């Protein structure tokens, strides 16, 4: 298991809405088998934790 401390960036749209975004390390995405052809993931929010996994 590898742990990294990342920051969430907040972007403001033209309408004034704020959207949070996070960038994940490219190596992690590659190891998950995610690429331009296979980029669907499942995101689960439970017990104040976020889990991201490749969609089957």
Q: Establish if 50 belongs to a structural domain.
A: yes
Q: Establish if 33 belongs to a structural domain.
A: yes
Model pLDDT, residue 1? 87
d(CA 39, CA 34): 5
Q: Establish if 2 belongs to a structural domain.
A: no
| Structural domains of the chain, count | 1
Q: Establish if 5 belongs to a structural domain.
A: no
Beta bridge partners of 9: 21
Q: What percent of the chain lies above the pLDDT cut of 90?
A: 93
**36 Cβ contact partners less than 8 Å away, ≥ 6 residues apart:** none
Model pLDDT, residue 56? 82
- 45 with 29: CB under 8 angstroms? no
Model pLDDT, residue 28? 96
What residue numbers bound the domain in which 53 lies? Answer: 24-56
| Sites in the chain below the pLDDT cut of 50 | none
């Amino acid at each position: 298991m590898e742990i990294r401390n990342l920051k969430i960036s907040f972007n403001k749209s033209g309408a004034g809405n704020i959207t949070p975004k996070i960038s994940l390390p490219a190596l992690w995405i590659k190891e998950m088998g995610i690429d331009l052809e296979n980029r669907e993931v499942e995101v689960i929010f439970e017990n104040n934790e976020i889990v991201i996994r490749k969609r089957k």
